[in-house]
Structures are given as C-alpha cells and as structure tokens.
Amino acid sequence: MIELIKEMWPTLWPTLAAIAVILAFVPILGLYMTFIERKLAAYIQDRVGPNRVGPLGLLQAVADGIKIFLKEQVVPDHVYKFLYFVAPTISLMTAMFGLVVLPFGPVPPEYESGFRFIVAPGVDIGILLIFAISSLSAYGIILGGWASNNKYSLYGAIRSCAQFISYEIPLGLSILGVILAAGSLNIEKIVASQGASIWDWNFFWQPLAFVIFFTSSLAETNRLPFDLPECEQELVGGFHTEYSGIKFVLFFLAEYTHIVASSFMTVLLFFGGWHFPGLTGPVDGSTAGMLLRLFVLIAKVGAVVAFIMLLRWALPRFRFDQLMGLAWKGLIPLGLVNLFLVAAVFTFDINKHFLAVTIVTIPIAGLISTWRLQRELNSTIALRAGKSGLGGASA
C-alpha cells in the first residue's frame, strides 16, 4: 500500500492540494459573502451596515460564525429527526461536489504533474457531471421541508421541486450552443475555444444563450427574484422554517457555494474564463502568467457575484405562476430558437457573429410579457369594478 502511494504521489498530491484549497476557502467565502452582501444592501439602502467588529467591520463575519457555533441547537419535537439532520448536509455536499470538475484558476495543457487549479482535470463530460451533481441539491431542500413536518416548510419544498424541474430545461438548452461551438463537454476545452480574441467569447455571439443561462442559474440557486421556496411573506421561511443554528447555516453555505459555482460557470462558458485582451492564446505556465490569469478569472467571477447580489436588492419577487410561466412560456422557447440558429450557422457556414442580433428577442419578449400582464391587470380591475357595482346595486 505504501509503495502504491509513493508511486501515485506525483499525480495524487495536486489533487489533494486542490481539495484542501476548496475545503479551506468555501466556509470562509460563505461567511464573507454574507458580510459583503450586507454591506452592499446597506449601500443601496443608504445605511451603514455591519461596522462594529474589527476595522471597517471586517471581523463581523468571524463573530457571526462563532455565535452560530455557540447557539443552542433547537430541534422541534414534531420533526423526523434523521432526515431533518441529513437534509442540510445533502445540500452542502452536492454543492461542494460540483466544484470537482470546475477549474477555479487557469489549467495548462500539461496538467499531469504539478499543482493545478482543479481537482479533476481533463474530464470529457465535465459539464454533464456538474449538472448531474448540482441537480441533486434539490433533494436536500425537499427532504428538509418534508422532514420538518410543517406545512410552510412542505410548501417551500414543493415549490423548490417545481422550480428545479422547470429551470433545468432552459439551463440545459442554453449551453448546447456553447458545446456545439467548442465541440466538447470538457470545460477547459470550452475556455480554450474562446482564447483567440475577445470577440470569440461566447457572450458576444450568443447573448441570448447567456441571458437564458444566467436567469436559469438564478432560479436554480433560489436567489431573488426567484426565491419562492423561502418566501417569508407567504411561507415564514419556507423549507428552512424549522431550522436554526449551524443547521440553518449549512443551507445558506450551500446556497452561497451554488452562487460561486454558477458565477464560475457563467465566466467560463460565456466570458472567456481566464482569457483577456493581451492574455489570449495558450496558458502561460510560468508563475507570473498563472497568477495574472488567476487574477483575471477571480475578478470576472467577483463581478458576476456582485451583480447577483445587486439583483437581490433591486428587483421584486416573482409570483409563483409568473415564475413557472417565465420558464415554460419564455425561456424554453427562446432556448430552442437559439439552438436552432446556432445549428443553422454551423450547418451553412455563416459568420457566427450574426447571432448577436438575437439579443433583440429579449426586449421583444419583455414587451409581449408586459402587454399580457397589463391586459390581465385591466381584466382584474374591470372584474372587481363589476362586482363592486353589483354589490352597490343590491345594497
């Protein structure tokens, strides 16, 4: 056994090092993403935000983490205890497993030896693996809602199930054009296919696919305006109503991990990953080159995460029927249109940048949706006015 480990060590230690980096930074990242979001919310709402612990409030996240661990673990008597405790663990484990094939830094072609910013490089079905594992996170929410033995929690779990099923379809449709262009399901190869110039980034010639992917990702992570499974106005707290202390934190650590993973996927699939004007072409294996590309990737991901946080404080929550209608009547048809156009471009050898005009379908779809919503509102107002008139006449 020892001899086998010695023989495998040159290829084993980079994998163990990448796993250690993920396990070390994900909890810290979750704590400080909460702090950053509170600060951003305070800035938008003209408040101060957390500023009492440490310089500029930077130790507030550490204080919150200590407080959570020291809190009493309240477990209601009516819950199904085994599944009640297992549910948050499932959510976090599936979120972390999705990072296995996700490069969190530049990966040179010669990844057989030395440290690389990925746990499992060269996986030819990387995207399929991420989608398969991330879809399992729904089980954590569903089990948590059912095991809580609470009607509000159960409603939240059922909403989450419907939401996951609906938005998995446009999410998958949105990346088919990207896969077709790269000719591979390997994420590193998809990033490499965007390395010729900035205009080869998939965002610039598949903007419709990007909008569909990003919107579906928000719904997959249960973020506003799609946080219907935990809608406090209707469901108190939804699927996590009966959770507190560290159990509650595991659910939200899983959510923030999903946000980071979705942001990485957005950058890697549509914004060229670690490529940037002046940093195009093959990955420079030198330390300076790797660090520069790592900074580019982290900066892009940080911008996407900040935008997701901004949306939480800028948009109102959808109604559940609007949430379902957006997926089945809006995003899925648009995803099929995008896939058909991408296939036509490659079949007839048309310049792929003609697909940039598909962005006009977004405002057109928005205008149609606004018109339909206004018509429904007018019909409701007229119906209420009619009922009021009848009431007054009978009186």
C-alpha distances in Å from residue 292, one per residue of 105, 109, 209, 282 = 10, 17, 28, 14
Residues 47 and 96 in one domain: no
Residues 19 and 79 in one domain: no
Residues 296 and 335 in one domain: yes
Low-confidence residues in the chain, pLDDT < 50: 393-395
Cβ-based neighbours of 140, under 8 Å, separated by 6 or more: 87, 88, 89, 90, 91, 92, 94, 251, 254
- State the Cα angle at 349 between 345 and 352, rounded to 5°: 50
Pick from 89, 75, 77, 100: which is nearest to 22 by CA?
100
Residues 291 and 362 in one domain: yes
Any idea how long the chain is? 395
Cβ 87 vs Cβ 147: under 8 Å: yes
Query: For residues 392 and 132, what is the distance between their CA atoms, to the nearest angstrom?
Result: 58
Q: In the prediction, which pLDDT does 111 show?
A: 58
Residues 14 and 123 in one domain: no
Residues 383 and 275 in one domain: yes
Cβ-based neighbours of 113, under 8 Å, separated by 6 or more: 10, 11, 14
Query: For residues 244 and 253, what is the distance between their CA atoms, to the nearest angstrom?
Result: 13
Cβ 248 vs Cβ 74: under 8 Å: no
Cβ 270 vs Cβ 206: under 8 Å: yes
Residues 221 and 312 in one domain: yes
Query: For residues 331 and 163, what is the distance between their CA atoms, to the nearest angstrom?
Result: 13
Residues 171 and 33 in one domain: no
Q: In the prediction, which pLDDT does 395 show?
A: 45
Residues 44 and 99 in one domain: no
Could you write out the DSSP letters of every residue in 42-86? HHHTT---S-SSSGGGTTHHHHHHHHHHHS-----TTS-HHHHHH
Pick from 24, 106, 101, 114: which is nearest to 291 by CA?
106
User: What's the domain range around 40?
Assistant: 1-70
Tokens of 141: 């929410």
Q: In the prediction, which pLDDT does 267 show?
A: 93
Cβ 170 vs Cβ 110: under 8 Å: no
**Boundary of a domain, candidates 70, 101, 131:** 70
**Boundary of a domain, candidates 70, 99, 124:** 70
Residues 53 and 79 in one domain: no
Cβ-based neighbours of 292, under 8 Å, separated by 6 or more: 279, 284
**Boundary of a domain, candidates 25, 47, 70:** 70
Residues 237 and 324 in one domain: yes
Could you write out the DSSP letters of every residue in 102-121? --SS---S--SSS--S-SST
- Per the structure, the count of domains in the chain is 2
Q: In the prediction, which pLDDT does 387 show?
A: 67
C-alpha distances in Å from residue 235, one per residue of 37, 145, 159, 232, 317 = 23, 11, 11, 5, 13
Residues 389 and 368 in one domain: yes
